Homo-oligomer: A and B are copies of this chain.
């Protein structure tokens, strides 16, 4: 299934500097944390930033292959493992796809609005682990380490198509 072709969120934006800014930010964080931001990892991150949409691992791999950076699935998956582990990139489980984090700061609990029509994905910040869920977890004795919320529906661009008059 081809994933959507619409930019991040559901509105267009000035895309010029956000790629280099995000790369620089992550580069700095890797240095600070003693992590290796290797060429493949960096390139995968850049690809996701440039596309600004959710990409499947094999779409990313195709790009890497075209650029001579690796041709086998583990190359892409390893880079994605690294990037998702450190929250530079998020996996959209609903789509089996990956998207660059829109909030280039600390570890957080992302919430995604996923359009079922065009597969556009918007990322929102939440405090999910601080509300009712945290109460339930602590009452149960469960320790939440990571959480993700995925909401499916219709984005502003696709609502008109679904309600034709």
Which A residues form the contact surface with B (CB < 8 A)?
Answer: 9-10, 93-94, 111, 113, 115-116, 122, 124, 126-129, 131-133, 136-137, 140-156, 159
Closest-CB distance, A72 to chain B (whole angstroms): 22
The reply to whether B149 and A148 form a contact with Cβ atoms under 8 Å apart is: yes
Which residues of chain B come closer than 8 Å to A137, judged between CB atoms? Answer: 113, 151, 153
The reply to whether A140 and B93 form a contact with Cβ atoms under 8 Å apart is: no
The reply to whether A152 and B147 form a contact with Cβ atoms under 8 Å apart is: yes
The reply to whether A150 and B93 form a contact with Cβ atoms under 8 Å apart is: yes
Residue ID in chain B nearest A129 by CB atoms: B151
6 further interface pairs, Cβ-Cβ under 8 Å (given A93-B150, A137-B153, A150-B150): A115-B142, A116-B145, A143-B154, A146-B152, A147-B150, A148-B150
What's the Cα separation between A153 and B145 when bound, in Å? Answer: 5
What's the Cα separation between A150 and B141 when bound, in Å? Answer: 16
